[in-house]
């Protein structure tokens, strides 16, 4: 079971980081203004997608939201992993 939680954590972290980078690149190419240093903050890129003057598109907004959900799942997934630690 510990291996399962570790794999879910790893996949969620990869999806969150690569997905956030992809959303940031797409927003930059569409000339949507956002602050690059805040792009790693939860829900910031999702807000930028929703508030874009030329609409960023529903698919990009959903993808930005999925990266945030993946990050939250990774954080919640840490709890059972820490709970299963055994001290000698």
What span, in angstroms and rounded, lies between the C-alpha atoms of 42 and 79? 19
The secondary structure of 13-41 as a DSSP string is HHHHHHHHHHHHHHHHHTT----GGGTTS
Residues 6 or more apart from 86 whose CB is under 8 A from it?
Answer: none
User: Please, are residues 52 and 30 in contact by the beta-carbon 8 Å criterion?
Assistant: yes
Which of 5, 26, 15 has its CA nearest to residue 82? 5
Task: Give pLDDT tens digits for 17-41.
Answer: 999 999 999 989 988 888 888 877 8
> Does the structure show a pLDDT above 80 at 61?
yes
Give the pLDDT of residue 39.
79
Residues 6 or more apart from 81 whose CB is under 8 A from it?
Answer: 2, 5, 6, 9
Where are the domains positioned within the chain?
2-83
The pTM of this model reads 0.82
């Amino acid at each position: 079971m510990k291996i399962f939680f570790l794999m879910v954590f790893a996949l969620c972290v990869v999806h969150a980081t690569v997905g956030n980078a992809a959303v940031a690149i797409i927003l930059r190419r569409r000339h949507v203004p956002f602050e690059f240093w805040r792009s790693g903050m939860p829900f910031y890129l999702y807000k930028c997608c929703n508030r874009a003057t030329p609409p960023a598109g529903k698919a990009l907004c959903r993808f930005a939201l999925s990266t945030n959900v993946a990050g939250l799942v990774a954080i919640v997934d840490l709890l059972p992993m820490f709970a299963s630690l055994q001290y000698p």
